[in-house]
Structure 1
Amino acid sequence: MKLQIEKLVYGGPGVAHLSEGTAAGEAVLVPFTLQGELIEASLLEQNKSNEASLLHVLDASGDRVQPRCVHFGECGGCHYQHADYPAQKKIKISILRETLERAGLKTLPEIQSHTADPWGYRNRMRLRVKKVDSTLRVGYNRRGTNEFLPIQECPITAPLLWRAAQSVLQAAVEDSMIQRWIDNVSDIELFTSGDETKLQMSLFVLKQQQPGLASFCERMKQLVPELVGAGSSLIKPPGPQRQIQKPYPLESWGASGLSYHAAGEDYWVSRGGFFQVNRFLVDELVEIVATNRQGTLAWDLFAGVGLFSRALAKKFAQVVAVEVAGSDLVNSFKGPGKRAVEATAVEFLRHTAVQRDRPQLIVMDPPRAGVGAEVCSLLARVSAPELVYVSCDPVTLGRDLKMLVDAGYRVEQLHSVDLFPQTFHLETVVVLRR
């Protein structure tokens, strides 16, 4: 069937409406399309969401380009490589505004866009390891499936990460003992400092095995001198109700983390710990959140390793950093005017909402689920003059902003910080004031 793509929506696909038959008027989602294109597509069988597969582009958009990666379309990681980068920025800003307006936020400021190099930006990658025709390969999942896709490149990751992945395969080929050890590895996660001078490696194994990590890492160190530490963990298949089991730590080698320099500070990131993934935009993200803000007291909820807390501590007399997995934070964020609290945001707010201390600023950077109704209610009770909300999901962001606006806040600034070029993912910074 022929379809005219009307717009792109969150998640990556373009939207068209059927013009003929009993289903006329129904929306159809077609990945890898662009606004205004005339395409030929085929509805997928047994698909409740009316998703179609793109067969041919009959009238291409002027924004369409040749994808840089040979795996684009097969791999589930990227969604927009068929659009030039200026078009990607416009797509994301349009989707962000429409999503927030749909949540009931009608009076919004102009969205400010912040970008950097759209290639080689990722400081972390996680790869599956599997034999294909008796040859060890690394790869991702094929789009929309759990099927293994062996890859030969990943241009959105830092070059050091791909070099390290290739070195794993080289080490296995050169040494039969290493190969036997690697045969038990299911996944490898690689994390690099922003300047690519240090590398951490996490290996996830399917069963406990004989020691062998040290000899493997010593060979890897010869191939990749940037390697500073590694660890192996036992990973189990999903349990009842398909629950993912937490990996069980086994052997380790070298340092337990690495020092990541960003925004004029050094942050200790433990192996497997969270840090912002775009190595080119971390400094700008910190500047948007923390620059030109000062006062007596600030709270940083969902603080992670203290990325924003450190910057805030330069301008506020006291900063309280709150993180549920806060062992690294407790050890590193201390000294005059600095306090780390290992707790969930809701636990912290339940306790502090009845206290007399009132911050001038609250920063929050929650996971995709957002902060939720109870946190929004508690924030309204605390009634800080200024909130800064860092979001990686526009849908939950819209839901939470609507509750905060209904509680008396107004949206003063909207920033689109493109931490995930070539993908549909959106990072947004919102400044709210009473």
Structure 2
Amino acid sequence: MSLIEPLTVRAERMVAGGDAMARLEDGRVAFVTGALPGEEVEVEVRNDRKDFVKATVTEVLEPSPDRVVPTCPHRREGCGGCGWMHFDTDAQIAAKVGIVSESLRRVGRFDADEVERVVAVGGAVDPYGYRTTIRLVGMPGGGVGFREERSDEVVPIDHCQVAHENLSQVLRSVSVAPGVELTLRTSAATNGVTARWTRPEDRKRRNEKRRSNAPAGESVSGLPADVHIGDRAFLVEQVDGVNLQVSAPSFFQAGPAGAELLVDAVRRAAPELADADHAVDAYGGVGLFAATVMRSARRVTLIESARSSCFDAKENLKHRAGQGDKSVEIVRSDMGDWKPGDDIDPIDVVVADPARPGLAKPGVAAVMRMDAPVVVLVSCDPVSLARDARLLVDEGYRMESVEVFDLFPQTPHVECVTRFVRN
């Protein structure tokens, strides 16, 4: 069956991924981009499947009271960076809590009463100016832009409302060759800026090492003189009163305000860290949690697979060097491959902050090998959280609390901090 004519549907609720869910007359589910709960909308089907369809709003017939006009002209022109900018910011966090709860019920198969008991609303960052890292695409003539939603087309921009002002200043001067992807990062603490980029030909060589520090004249020009360029460039950000080195290729949160919220949430989720003998920072990155909430632990093991992040973590944890040979160990390894040695001290708390796919079975197996009585999981995807929570509970842990944060306002992205205790 192929749906050609526009359809009229009524959206029911927001779902993981950022679309609204509706139902067709034939009983199938429709995932509608651009709709809000309760709205009657006319949609155009872009993907017609046997059990569901994916569609896009073409006209809002009955708008929700939570619908607003996007303040950003680039979003109104099709920029895909802020897919929820038509959604009132006060309503976004409630929708994200609903998405997390629904994922735990449907994907994690947790009882509705249990979900209601454990899920709580956390904090949110300021809805504008919060991002300290952005990725741009070069356009003909040297301009830059962001890609359209679900498209390779690029929308030209000259500023970004959710980006830190330091980055918007760079946007006004930089020139980027067509197809080149430029990543800019700034420090809210020092105002330093780093830049690295990849060219289309680099991205095609997936089996070769990608170069991101080609001569500026070839790909990027107009960067201010004080911008640090390439993979070896780094800046210093401050979180929880701690200075953290962050290299250009290393992962870091969208901004220090979000990192502060996560550090505070992990501290509350694992008060045992205050006097832990041994804590593990799994998927530890540059050492955000190891350097902050784990600073009083007698021993810290950080596990991370990325070379640049391990390099940063060594710098960020070097203050522990005088506390004994076993005070800190930084292990470069995929989480699923790491096994604690026979002589390792018993682990009291594991804090795991995996990428969007979550722990999955290899990560959960690694956590089980650690045999820690407390596990804190930092998740950036509600579906992977629900799946990981079910795996951990099936292995003998109890889910005690889930705190939901909005660290990416104007987008459907959601962050959660979940506490598990071994039965």
TM-score, normalised to structure 2's length? 0.84
In structure 2, what is the equivalent of residue 193 of structure 1? Answer: 187
Cα distance in 2 for residues equivalent to 1:53 and 1:211: 40
The question of whether the paired residues in 1 share the 8 Å contact of 2:354 and 2:379 is answered with yes
Among 284, 303, 328, the alignment partner of 2:312 is: 328
**Bigger mean CA offset, 208-217 vs 118-127:** 208-217
Query: Which letter maps to 2:364?
Result: C
Deviations 1:178-214 (A, max 9, x none): xxxx547712111001246111111334579998539
Cα distance in 2 for residues equivalent to 1:184 and 1:387: 45
User: How well do the aligned residues superpose, as a CA RMSD in angstroms?
Assistant: 2.6
Identity of aligned pairs, percent?
30
In structure 2, what is the equivalent of residue 68 of structure 1? Answer: 71
Q: Superposed, which structure 2 residues align to 1:158-173 within 5 Å?
A: 158-169=164-175
Secondary structure of 1:285's aligned partner: helix
Cα distance in 2 for residues equivalent to 1:98 and 1:185: 39
> Shift in Å at residue 356 of structure 1?
5.5
Among 296, 307, 312, the alignment partner of 2:293 is: 312
In structure 1, what is the equivalent of residue 8 of structure 2? Answer: 2
Q: Superposed, which structure 2 residues align to 1:294-373 within 5 Å?
A: 294=274, 295-325=276-306, 326-334=310-318, 335=321, 336=323, 337-348=327-338, 350-352=339-341, 354-355=342-343, 357-373=345-361
> Shift in Å at residue 121 of structure 1?
0.7
- Structure 2 CA distance for partners of 1:303 and 1:36, relative to 1, 3 Å: same
Secondary structure of 2:128's aligned partner: coil
In structure 1, what is the equivalent of residue 206 of structure 2? Answer: none
Query: Which letter maps to 2:297?
Result: F
Query: Which letter maps to 2:18?
Result: G
Q: Superposed, which structure 2 residues align to 1:105-184 within 5 Å?
A: 105-106=110-111, 107-108=114-115, 109-131=118-140, 135-169=141-175, 182-183=176-177
Runs of 4 or more above 6 Å deviation: 207-211, 214-219
Cα distance in 2 for residues equivalent to 1:206 and 1:398: 36
Cα distance in 2 for residues equivalent to 1:12 and 1:217: 33
**Bigger mean CA offset, 108-117 vs 40-49:** 40-49
> Shift in Å at residue 45 of structure 1?
6.4
Cα distance in 2 for residues equivalent to 1:386 and 1:340: 21
TM-score, normalised to structure 1's length? 0.82
Cα distance in 1 for residues equivalent to 2:236 and 2:109: 42
The question of whether the paired residues in 2 share the 8 Å contact of 1:217 and 1:230 is answered with no
> Shift in Å at residue 34 of structure 1?
0.9
- Structure 2 CA distance for partners of 1:211 and 1:289, relative to 1, 3 Å: closer
> Shift in Å at residue 37 of structure 1?
0.9
Cα distance in 2 for residues equivalent to 1:68 and 1:213: 34
In structure 2, what is the equivalent of residue 100 of structure 1? Answer: 104
Cα distance in 1 for residues equivalent to 2:344 and 2:44: 62
**Structure of greater Rg:** 1
- Structure 2 CA distance for partners of 1:61 and 1:77, relative to 1, 3 Å: same
Query: Which letter maps to 1:126?
Result: R
Aligned length: 387
The question of whether the paired residues in 2 share the 8 Å contact of 1:28 and 1:52 is answered with yes
- Structure 2 CA distance for partners of 1:79 and 1:218, relative to 1, 3 Å: closer
In structure 2, what is the equivalent of residue 52 of structure 1? Answer: 55
Cα distance in 2 for residues equivalent to 1:44 and 1:187: 28
Cα distance in 2 for residues equivalent to 1:112 and 1:55: 33
> Shift in Å at residue 145 of structure 1?
1.5
Cα distance in 1 for residues equivalent to 2:132 and 2:379: 19
The question of whether the paired residues in 2 share the 8 Å contact of 1:330 and 1:342 is answered with no
Cα distance in 1 for residues equivalent to 2:362 and 2:19: 33
Query: Which letter maps to 1:31?
Result: T
Q: Does 1:203 align with 2:197?
A: yes
Cα distance in 2 for residues equivalent to 1:327 and 1:356: 23
